[in-house]
Structure 1
Amino acid sequence: MKLGTWLLVAAGVLMANAAEAAPKWALAIHGGAGVIDRNALSPEQEKAYREAMARAAEAGARVLRAGGSSLDAVEAAVVELEDDPLFNAGRGAVFTAEGKNELDAAVMEGRDLKAGAVAGVTRTRNPIRLAREVMQSSPHVMLIGPGAEEFARSRGLPEVDPAYFYTSQRWRALERELARQNLPVPAKPPGARDDDRAAALAHDEGKRGTVGAVAVDIRGDVAAATSTGGTTAKRWGRVGDAPIIGAGTYADNASCAVSATGTGEYFIRLTVAREVCALVEHNGLSLQAAADEVIQRKLTKIGGDGGVIAVSPAGEVAWSFNTSGMYRASIADGRPLVVGVYKDDP
């Protein structure tokens, strides 16, 4: 065999092997980053969080295994996390200084760069579903407050009494933070009740709690979704990075999909999610290298803290965080579920 022919054959074999190694679909999720040390979680808490992350990852994986879209998968995973009182999103969200739960969420799909977001909603059970409705059923990208709630009702989304979001662990965190700031503690929401044992296991990871998911489907389309209750004792209608497209959420088939968690003001200033994608698309960095460049260098340099999860159209999965822990999980076609909590987990 001539050398040129041999090289062509060898290149073909390598390309075929690479194609076989690439997963047909992949998904990663996070449940927030922050002060999550081994000595901060009881064994019961750690077990609860690992099991919750596994359930959410499996909810998204079921969609992808069946040939569903990445958008459906990230929504399914985030709904699971919003419904779980362990996480600062949906039920289990933190409280504002006025004793309310103001919820933010965003979704984006990479195929056509469509996006939807909501901020400051108080009655929509699953804000991530409302964000998707904004994307698909309105001419807008972001709706806030009462207007967003009115739109949710027009779309027939489930609405709940604000007391649904109450958990005693988050209320106690509010009391501690208000005492630290020498601010008055408001009355509990009407109808608020003490939690069951599962909700009582929630860990206060600081002011960085958010949930999110990123996925690529069998068509190579990526999507991202992020949802949060914001920061404990937030005031004046504060909104963080989660619902801001490009800051806490971004997806583009030309690069990757990213969902972030951390102190949102820094993520907004750096447009973290878009920056990770830009480094992949324009600088040729690998997904992991791009995530590390933004989180470990750029975010850390300006004093920010938190992390990201990311997935590429080729099925690469990456995460990076500069806090002591981040609840995270990944699963892909032909690859097992991986769940991590602490810095030294896989």
Structure 2
Amino acid sequence: MTSSTSSKNDFALAIHGGAGTILRSQMTPEREAAYHAGLRRALDAGRFVLADGGTALDAVTSAVMALEDEPLFNAGRGAVYTSAGKQEMDAAVMDGRDHAAGAVAGICGPRNPVLAARAVMEHSGHVLLIGESAIEFCRHHGLSFEEPAYFYTEQRWNALQETLAMRRSGAEDQDESRKHGTVGAVARDRHGNLAAATSTGGMTAKSPGRVGDSPVIGAGTWADNETCAVSATGHGEIFIRYAAAHEIASRMRYAGQSLEEASHAVVIDTLAPAGGSGGIIAVDRAGNVSLPFNCSGMYRGVVKGDGKLLTAIYDEPLIEYSKA
């Protein structure tokens, strides 16, 4: 678990690239460096917006777009496959200023699902659009689309084949990272406003049509200027049942808990015993950041006004990762 504090007029951005069973024994130095580099690129994208006085909403959108463009993470270009060999992506954004929110589920085609979610928020009277209707909405509003080949990665396809083979043999998939890979970002801008964004390809070999917590406002995504902004990555069904993101904000609002106290209570004391493996990133209205998780690792990073890009993967402190 990691937390940090910002000065009153500073900005803060936290990101995640999914959580689960991330074993050092299966991580080459080259691959580990690639993950850190991908996290840094996303942090830089959001930092650029915030350092220029931009909004938290623009910052989280930019950071998540960078993560969606990185095939290492399970969102956008790196999305996993359903049991039918298709890709179905979900995303959500929420603005802490007025609780404006937009989300999409079960889509494939828009290059950046987070932009699809934002389009729903800004250009419709709805919060959540799904499937073909959501795709047509995105076409109507001029979003960039890609062909299926753009979203194909050998790693994700092979993961599907391995999972299906285990199911046929009656074995259980022990790789938690295949069950809840997600990307997300939360931010506080220099004006004191909060925002959150989350994007995912879902669970490897999930049933077609399954939707997890990422696009469910209050479960995997939440932002409220009076309390906090949250983006989750975990076993979506459990996060939905416990309204995980909103529960953190509720503990702060009604029980007077700090961000660290509330996020720890939800992730460690509530979700873990219920089988809700995963974690969250959160920032409060003062710029404090909390990044708890209840599994062996979570790809994560933080940047604040000093410009230092801090990242981590395992149960370890955030570090200014060397490019060498």
TM-score by length of 1: 0.87
- Mapping of residues 276-315 of structure 1, within 5 Å: 276-315=248-287
Taking the TM superposition and a 5 Å limit, the aligned residue runs for 1:28-67 are 28-67=14-53
Give me the whole-angstrom Cα distance separating, in 2, the residues matched to 1:314 and 1:20. Answer: 7
Structure 1 residue 336: deviation in Å? 2.5
Alignment partner, residue 127 of structure 2: 141
- Tell me the residue number matched to 1:189: none
Q: Which runs of 5+ in 1 are unaligned?
A: 1-18, 184-202
State the partner residue of 2:206.
234
Supply the distance in 2 between the matched residues of 1:52 and 1:74 (Cα, whole angstroms): 15
Q: Which residue identity does 1:288 align to in structure 2?
A: E
Instruction: Check whether the contact 1:173–1:204 (CA below 8 A) recurs between aligned residues.
Output: no
Give distance in 1, aligned partners of 2:133 and 2:25: 43
Match status 1:336 vs 2:308: yes
- Root-mean-square deviation (CA, aligned residues, Å) is 1.6
Contact 1:174–1:232 (CA<8 Å) still a contact in 2?
Answer: yes
Mean Cα deviation higher: 330-339 or 123-132: 330-339
Are 1:129 and 2:115 matched, yes or no? yes
Change (3 A) 1:276 1:163: same
Is the contact between residue 213 and residue 226 of structure 1 (CA under 8 Å) also seen in structure 2?
yes
Displacement after TM superposition at 1:345 (Å):
3.1
Question: What residue in structure 1 maps to residue 221 of structure 2?
Answer: 249
C-alpha contact 1:108 1:251 (8 A) present in aligned 2: yes
> Helix, strand or coil: the match of 2:32?
helix
Q: Higher Cα Rg: structure 1 or 2?
A: 1
Q: Displacement, 1:46? A: 0.6
* Number of the residue aligned with 1:100: 86
Alignment correspondent of 2:58 = 72
Alignment match of 2:162 (pick from 176, 182, 190): 176
Asked if the contact 1:23–1:334 (Cα under 8 Å) also holds between the matched residues in 2, the reply is no
Partner in structure 2 of residue 221 of structure 1 = 193
2:314 is the counterpart of 1:345: no
| Matching residue of 1:16 | none
- The alignment status of 1:211 with 2:183, answered yes or no, reads yes
- Matching residue's letter, 1:41: M
Offset, 1:23? 4.9
What secondary structure does 2:27 align onto? coil
Spell out, residue by residue over 1:198-232, the C-alpha distance to the aligned partner (whole angstroms, 9 max, x if none): xxxxx993211000000011111100000000000
Of all paired residues, the percent bearing the same amino acid is: 54
SS at match of 1:182: helix
Q: Deviations over 1:118-176 (max 9, x none)?
A: 00001111000010000010000000000000000010001111221110000000000
Q: 1:262 aligns with which of 231, 234, 240?
A: 234
* Cα separation, 1, equivalents of 2:210 and 2:146: 22
Offset of residue 24 of structure 1? 1.6
- Does residue 83 (structure 1) correspond to residue 44 (structure 2)? The answer is no
How does the TM-score come out when normalised to structure 2?
Answer: 0.93
Aligned pair in 2 of structure 1 residues 130, 270: CA closer, same or farther (>3 Å)?
same
- Residue 8 of structure 2 is matched in structure 1 by 22
Code of the residue aligned with 2:77 in structure 1: it is R
Distance 1:159 1:115 in 2: 22
2:95 to 99, 109, 112: 109
Alpha-carbon distance in 2 for matches of 1:27, 1:20: 10
Name the amino acid aligned to 1:24: D
1:29 and 1:178 mapped to 2: Cα distance? 31
Q: Hey, what's the Cα distance between the residues in 2 that align with 1:297 and 1:33?
A: 17
Distance 1:335 1:23, change over 3 A: farther
Q: What is the aligned partner in structure 1 of residue 294 from structure 2?
A: 322
Query: What is the aligned partner in structure 2 of residue 165 from structure 1?
Result: 151
Letter in 2 for 1:217: D
Runs of 4+ that moved beyond 2 A: 19-23, 203-206, 334-337
Q: Secondary structure at the match of 2:36?
A: helix
Secondary structure class of the residue paired with 1:21:
coil
